[in-house]
Every structure is written in structure tokens, then in C-alpha cells.
Chain A
């Protein structure tokens, strides 16, 4: 093996504050070979970003690192600012999580890019410009010259992230650090950025350290994976070995939380990790994972765990890793899903929402129309889970808000339990109508009022809907609801600031169920949460649904998650339904070209799976004044011809209520190869 490009030895990072110091990384060692790609996964709060900051020397005044960070043989942990600058301008570059924060909003893209090559002595402006333009072309930004002249706000999120990657690559780095570069991007954009990272690695031979919470992403772009927990690498292995034979209980549970395209709620259950990472201050003695580990053995696991070599390049820190497959699954954790009944509770007929925008003051200008929902038709039965999927801007949240009564529809019918509520907003609905449809929102930090205790909105809902008569009765009902969502009832007196994201979403679910709704609208309820927490919340929803028989309208951008929990799926693009049908019909051909593209963009947590690459060009077009033909025509990889631009596509009906809105006939779509195939030689992981 060649000499490692970077070698971290006994790195220890502490943060000091007035109330004492906490250890973020106790003792970490690893190395990355030239050209190698190391992925680091773990939940949030596990010290992943701290590690990158320590390597870059960016810990700030309160952070202190000891140990050695050898880059190309030189110890950069003790380098002077001038030496660090040299390393940053030619050795290590970093791509940050939020491209909006990484670019200066007041400077043109070109101006920000040319700074990088001009840091090297003797590079004139003209050369720097040429380099920058070339690099923008390399990251597949169309029309690089015009991008150079634009300001960051004139680019989309995906384009900005490409610019940031181009900026990092302009430094000719030999090691590129990426800190969750695709979090917050749409799944199709994420797939394109991952392709780009992979391609650039092949072209330039750059080493990568890729930090992510998404196990699927790691499988796609990394050679080797380190699993990080509370600042420790608990397991380290080549990507195939890790996915085929995860040994550490944390790795195993983390992987069991990831929704997969090849399983659903009837065949598999998530196995969420109980609780959340301990805070750095309460670091348990011995194995950091011990408070959450089902295999915790007192007297053994609270001693310092040595690193053990268990295979080629496969290291694990666990006393009981040989028995780890035996820890799970406890039979109680299997969630038996509810079966939909025949009773229809919700029906949308030709539902549309059009926003009329602007229009000049004197009516001289032609009015623009933004059609957020157009001609939505579907029905949901009691105890059914209907998932609505699409990228941002597809109008799925608009529909959720119309259904809940936070907005009214422009035309069409929305029949909820027999009455048409399309134009009846929350303030006009009767108490019965309101309590029939309740909602869980996306952002855990905005869903609870920071000024009120967690139990307050629930008690208030009970009172408003006259479920209880106040006083003790209300309090005990609130406590029951807290127990239903598996929160300690004592938490009802706590302000939201003291709850974790998952706990806040649980309170939000309890609040929605205080009104005993027939229909629950869940607008991306888990997309802001870690996978382990997401798994717990999804299991909880399924369990509550089973006991209460609630119909759930589940809005999501995550196809794998939808695959797991939905009975019926609706795929939306620019406000229109592209495909709908039972969940089983959607994930195999025939599918709509848009569904196909979405499926092929899902990061699959399985390095042995062969995923067909269908990539969409460009970004989602603006929903203002959409074309009269097929809305997807401008990006469709299977576009038939001008008919797609000119003529609205027909609804093609398949089996069991399957519908595809496309000019291509069903049998032709059915002949398309499936997205996922396992490589023939290798076995499927357990």
C-alpha cells in the first residue's frame, strides 16, 4: 500500500467554555490513501463536522485539538497560520453543507472563483478567468461564461453547490472534504451532484472525505466507510464488507433504519435506535453506544473498548460484535400495518389551485398564473396511507394545506366524509369538520410555540374540540396522548426548546390526535430528522394508525420511505399528477418517465445493487404559465417528439387503478428495464 495522503493520529478535540470543557472527539486515528474516498456516517451530534473542522484548523477560539494530523507527511495540527494557508490553497479544500452560506451574496460568481487561482503567485487575471470558466464547464454548468457574470441568488440550489465544488477544485486539492454537500437538495439534483463528485474523482484522482448521515449516499460514492458515534469510529470497513456484514450494533441499527426500495411495511419493519446520542457532557464510560445498545452488558461494556481487526481493512470497536446479529430483532418491534377498509373517506375531484400573481397596478400587464395544483383526482379509503411524492415546487404542500383548510381551492371538489370542503377554510369549518382533518407539519422547530409548554397546545385542542371538560380530566388526557407517542408525560410541562427534533414531532403528532381525526395530513413530517429518529416516528405513525384506523395523507420527497409505508402513491410534477396507483405498481415498470428518474436518483444503501442511471437535465421549470403540452416535456429523457410540447398527454389506465399520464403507450413503458438489479455474482445482503 502506498503512503497515506492524510493520516490522523490520536486526534483529540475539546471545546472549552466558561462552564468547563467537553470532549467532542476523545481519541481518533484513521488514514486516507491517495485517490481513496472515505465516507463518514453517523447521526447528527456525533462529531462528524468537528472532525473536518479539526483537519482544516477551523475549530475557532473555543476548540482545541491535540494529536497529529499528518498531511503528506507534514503535521498540520501544529502548523502556523501561514503554513495552514499554504495547505488550504493547494492541498485540502472543503465543500460546505449550505451553498447559500458558502458564497458571498454581494459578489459575482466569477469574481469569487478567480480569487482562488490568483492566490498562487504569478497567475494573471486572464489566466485565472480561463481556469474558472473551464472548471465551471467541468462541473457541468451550462454556459459557464454567463454563470461567471451572475450573482449567487440568480442560481438554483443545485447550481450553487456546483459552483462551490468548482471553487474547491480550483485550488487543485489532493484531498477534498465534503460536509453533507447534498443535504437540502432535491433527490434528482442530489443524484446529479453525486455523479459529479464521482466523475471528478475519476478525472482528478482527488481523495475524498465525505461526511453524510445518509447511508445510501455512502454506498454510492465511497470506497471505505467509517461509522462515527460520539467522536469515536466504532466501525471502519470497505464499503462492500460493511454493507454485507455490518458488525457493530450501532452500524446494524443505523442500516436497519434506512428505508429501502425493495421492501415495504408488510415485509419489513424499521428498527429505530432507542433514544438519541448522549450529550458530550454525559459521555458514558467505555463504549459510547452503551446507553442505547440492546446488547449492553454491565461490567463489560463500560470498560474502554479496544479496536479489533476482523477482516481486511475491517476494524470494529465492540466487545460483543460476534454476537451482534443475535441482539435483534425483538418480536415486539415488528409493526403490523393496518389494512385499508372499503369505506371512502376522502375524494378529490378535479381539484385545482391557481395563484394569480402580480398583474401591474393599472392592469396593463398580462397577468401571470401559477398553477400549484391542477385537476387533482384521487380517493382514499379508511385506514389507508396515501403518499404524495414530488420534488420541491410540485404542489404537494399546497394540496396538504387545502385539505387541512389552511387555503381554499380555486375549483374542483374535495369531499371529506361526505361534505365538500374545497372552499371551506379552517375558520369556516365546523368543529366536526375541523377535527376530522388534522395536520402534522414539516419543520420540528416551527411546529410548537416556543413560548408555551409542550402540553399546552394539546390541552387547548382538547378544550376547543370539547373532548374533555378541563382541569384534571384534560391533564390526564394530555398525559395519555403523551404516552401514546411514547413521551414521558412529565415532558408536557417542558418548553419546546428543551426537546429534540424527534420529540417535537411526537408532540405534534399527539396534538393532531387530540382531535381524534379521521384523516391525518402529514407534510414531510420526518424529512428534517435523522434516519434513526425518522424510523421511530414512522413506526409510531403506523402503530397509531393501526389502533385508530386513521387515513393518512403522507407528503414526502423520499421515494424509498414512501415505498415503505404507503398503500397508494401519487407522483406529482409541477402541480399535476404524473402517475398514481397502488404502491406495488409504482416501483416496477411500467412507470412514468418522471417516476423512473426519481427512482434512479434514490441513493440505494447497497453497494452491490446495480442502479440504472436516468438523470434529468436542468432544473424544475417555473410553475408560472406552464406549457400546454406535457409539463415534464422539457426535462423528459423519453420525450417522443413535438407532440409532448403541444398536446396534453392522455391518462393511460393500467391494472388496479394504476394511472400514467404520458404519450407513450403502456406496453412500451412496461418494456423498460427495472431500475434496481443486483449484480449477478454477489449475494444480497442480509
Chain B
């Protein structure tokens, strides 16, 4: 009896994905056997734990899909970071000489746009905007959506009713119209884009968190926390929220991708960042006037948007796959 669970540590060592360090194994077996031979040995602690199971992010390199996604995102991040030191044109400098023949050339690798500005330079400088605005807006949406979802899921009843119906109303609104109303009322600016993203993504995030919270709030570990007088805030933030992380990491990656699209749409509608900052959506829109003659003016920024969104989607897929095989 005294050594009841001693050899179980041995088994814990041999988890399938862990190559058990060979020099530890025999010791553990020997230790548990000694413990068995002497049933009086109290506890018989066998300190053979092996390494911690690698967490999701550390296992990410095992997923080829995620790695392709990370490569796409990484390329843009590196370009955006290095933009000031790269031998690029000023993104707002107009090269009137190239306007006659704006197609890609040795001087302008991706050609120039309708105003004679270097497209490559504008794309890379535009990446700086996209890569800051999109994750920032998504994080803001999470900061609003997660607490609402937790409250609705944990308390249920009237709180849930109010939160859920409000988010239903917002979700039921056609998104484009919402953007137009919003931004035409207060004008295009960085904070308006963030506000637009919070309004459109927040309810969706809230729903996911609410669903995950509902699943968990009747589990025994929540009851156990209540039995030691933990506050509701503590239960929500420390007990429930960490267990939502799997789906939320996936959702965050997708959400950043959607936000990039949203920013693109806003730019295309003329509601993006105020000019003359390079903005991919605005670039697509400006190119449309000459799309039949010089499609590259819209095509390259469109490809830029697609590649970055695809990158985030692929990472999301990879994370989801990994979390399923966990």
C-alpha cells in the first residue's frame, strides 16, 4: 500500500511523444522496485518526471502548414521593419518620367502607380501600417469581446440575455453599411479603424468565449474554486480564461487576417487611413481606374493583401491541427 503510485511515475515518463532519456528509466524502475520490496517505505517518492510536454507554440515547427504561413508573415514583417534602411524610393515621391510607361522595370521593380509613385516601396511601407493596425485592432477587439463573453457565459441568465442580444443586433447589421455609417460620421482615422474592428469582431469573439465558458463553468474544478471562496473575477480570469486559449489562439490568427481584409475594404471604400500614407486597400482602389490598361497597379497590392491574410490563415490552420493532435 505504501508505495501504491510509485511506478506510475515510470509510466508518466514514457508518454508516446517523449523519447524517454535512457539513463533515467532503469533508475526509476529500480527505485519503484525497491519501494515495492519494502512496503513500509512511506510515500516512496520517485522523482523521475522527464521534461515538460512541449507546448503548442514550441511544437509549431512540426506543422508544415504553419511554417509556410509563418514564412509569409515573417517576410512581410522583416520587410516592414527594414523599410527605412532598404534602398527604396520615398513612397510618396512622384516619378513623372516613369508615368509614361508605368510597368515594372529595372528602376521600379513593380512599376509605378497612377501618380508615378514606386509600388514596391509603397507596398513595403504599407506593410508597416497593416502590421501594426491589424494586430492592434484585433487585440482591442479581444479586450472588449473576451470580458463580455466571460460575463455572459459565467453568469448566464439576464446578463447573458443582454450581452447576447446586443451582439446579435450588431452581428445582424450588414458590415459594409456599418463601416460606412461609422466612418462617414467621424471621418477616416487610425482610431476609427480600430473602433470599426472592435464593433464587428468583438461580438464574434464574445460568442466564442461565451460558448467555451458555458462548457466549463459546471466542471468540478470551478466548483472546487468556489469551495475555497475565490471571487467570481478570479474564477473567470484564472480558472476559465486559460482553458479557452486553444480555440482563441486559432481565432486570433484568423481574426488578424480578417482585420487586414477589413482595412483593405475600408481603404478601397475610401475610408482607410488618411492619405498620403500608403495603404494597400487604397492602392487597389486607385489602380482600378487604369485596370484595363495597367492591371499591375491593383494586382500587386491585391497580391500583398492575399499573401499576408493567407499567412495568418495557414498559421491558424496549423495551430488548430496541432491542438487536435494534442
Which of B25, B224, B226, B230 gathers the greatest number of chain A CB atoms within 10 Å? B224
Q: B23 at the A/B interface (Cβ < 8 Å)?
A: no
CB-CB under 8 A from B25, the residues of chain A are: 282
Instruction: Give Cα A22 to B20, complex, Å.
Output: 14
Instruction: Give Cα A272 to B225, complex, Å.
Output: 31
Tell me the minimal C-beta distance from A43 to chain B in angstroms: 12
Q: A490 at the A/B interface (Cβ < 8 Å)?
A: yes
CB within 8 A of B5: which of A284, A487, A494?
A: A487
Instruction: Give Cα A279 to B229, complex, Å.
Output: 39
Instruction: Give Cα A503 to B10, complex, Å.
Output: 13
Q: A245 at the A/B interface (Cβ < 8 Å)?
A: no
Q: B242 at the A/B interface (Cβ < 8 Å)?
A: yes
Contact of B228 with A276 in the complex, beta carbons under 8 Å: no
Instruction: Give Cα A457 to B10, complex, Å.
Output: 24
Contact of B227 with A292 in the complex, beta carbons under 8 Å: no
Contact of A536 with B8 in the complex, beta carbons under 8 Å: no
Binary per-residue interface labels of chain B (1-12) against chain A in the complex, 1 for a CB within 8 Å, 0 otherwise: 111111111111
A-B contacts counted at CB < 8 A amount to 175
What residue of chain B has the Cβ atom nearest to residue A451's Cβ?
B242
Contact of A483 with B227 in the complex, beta carbons under 8 Å: no
Contact of A483 with B7 in the complex, beta carbons under 8 Å: no
CB-CB under 8 A from B7, the residues of chain A are: 274-276, 278, 291-292
CB-CB under 8 A from A427, the residues of chain B are: 226, 229
CB within 8 A of A515: which of B15, B39, B46, B228?
A: B228
Given contacts A447-B220, A460-B228, A464-B228, contact A291 B29 (CB under 8 A): yes
CB-CB under 8 A from A292, the residues of chain B are: 7, 36
CB within 8 A of A439: which of B32, B37, B43, B223?
A: B223
For A, the interface residue count at a CB cutoff of 8 angstroms equals 72
Residues 5 to 34 of chain B near chain A (Cβ within 8 Å)? 5-17, 19-20, 25, 29, 32-33
CB-CB under 8 A from A22, the residues of chain B are: 16
Q: B324 at the A/B interface (Cβ < 8 Å)?
A: no
Instruction: Give Cα A476 to B221, complex, Å.
Output: 23
Tell me the minimal C-beta distance from B247 to chain A in angstroms: 14
Instruction: Give Cα A446 to B37, complex, Å.
Output: 34
Instruction: Give Cα A404 to B45, complex, Å.
Output: 32
Tell me the minimal C-beta distance from A617 to chain B in angstroms: 33
CB-CB under 8 A from B71, the residues of chain A are: none
CB within 8 A of A279: which of B4, B14, B43, B245?
A: B14
Instruction: Give Cα A93 to B44, complex, Å.
Output: 47
Given contacts A19-B17, A275-B6, A502-B5, contact A488 B43 (CB under 8 A): yes
Instruction: Give Cα A488 to B12, complex, Å.
Output: 12
CB within 8 A of A536: which of B1, B16, B20, B47?
A: B1
Residues 226 to 266 of chain B near chain A (Cβ within 8 Å)? 226-230, 239, 242-243, 245
Which of A406, A451, A503 gathers the greatest number of chain B CB atoms within 10 Å? A451
Instruction: Give Cα A432 to B16, complex, Å.
Output: 45
Q: A568 at the A/B interface (Cβ < 8 Å)?
A: no
CB-CB under 8 A from A426, the residues of chain B are: 226-227, 229
Q: B49 at the A/B interface (Cβ < 8 Å)?
A: yes
Contact of B49 with A503 in the complex, beta carbons under 8 Å: no
Given contacts A274-B3, A274-B4, A498-B15, 13 further A-B contacts (CB under 8 A): A274-B7, A274-B35, A275-B7, A279-B15, A282-B10, A292-B36, A294-B36, A439-B227, A441-B224, A486-B4, A488-B44, A489-B45, A500-B12
30 A-B pairs whose Cβ atoms sit less than 8 Å apart in the complex: A22-B16, A272-B4, A275-B4, A275-B6, A276-B7, A279-B14, A282-B25, A292-B36, A293-B36, A406-B226, A427-B226, A427-B229, A438-B227, A439-B227, A441-B220, A441-B224, A447-B221, A449-B242, A451-B242, A451-B245, A460-B225, A464-B228, A486-B43, A488-B5, A488-B46, A491-B49, A494-B12, A500-B8, A503-B8, A536-B4
